[in-house]
Amino acid sequence: MYPAEIENALGRHPAVREVAVVGIPHEELGEEVGAAVSLKEGAEASAEELREFVKDQVAAYKYPREVWFVDELPKGPTGKILKREIEPPQPG
């Protein structure tokens, strides 16, 4: 996975405040790309819109298959995003 490249691409979308890319389990592939996104106050964007936005900037196999929205990403005392605490939505 190439999280920094994908995070930078998503971060260029005008509605995105912050983003964290994580691996999410996949039955056949083992893992696929997922992105937890926090939008700027008053901004709107759909998961599909963000996926399409990134598809134009990264290789086809890199774009996030799953995009979900969070109010805020978990951070440690230094303000660094704690990716291990990010939980993708459960299927179904």
pLDDT at 1: 53
**Contact assessment for residue 47 and residue 20, using Cβ atoms and an 8 Å cutoff:** no
In a domain, 91, yes or no: no
> Which pLDDT tens digit goes with each residue over 14-66?
999 999 999 988 788 778 899 999 999 999 999 999 999 999 899 888 889 99
pLDDT at 53: 95
**More confident call, 76 vs 90:** 76
Question: 3-state class of 4 per DSSP?
Answer: helix
In a domain, 90, yes or no: no
pLDDT at 90: 77
Tell me the CATH number at 81. 3.30.300.30
- Predicted confidence (pLDDT) at residue 88 exceeds the cutoff of 80: yes
User: Is this prediction's pTM over 0.75?
Assistant: yes
- Number of domains observed in the structure of the chain: 1
In a domain, 66, yes or no: yes
In a domain, 58, yes or no: yes
CA dist., res. 61 & res. 68, Å (int): 19
Least Cα distance to 3 among 23, 29, 18, 17 occurs for: 23
Q: Which structural domain range is residue 61 located in?
A: 3-85
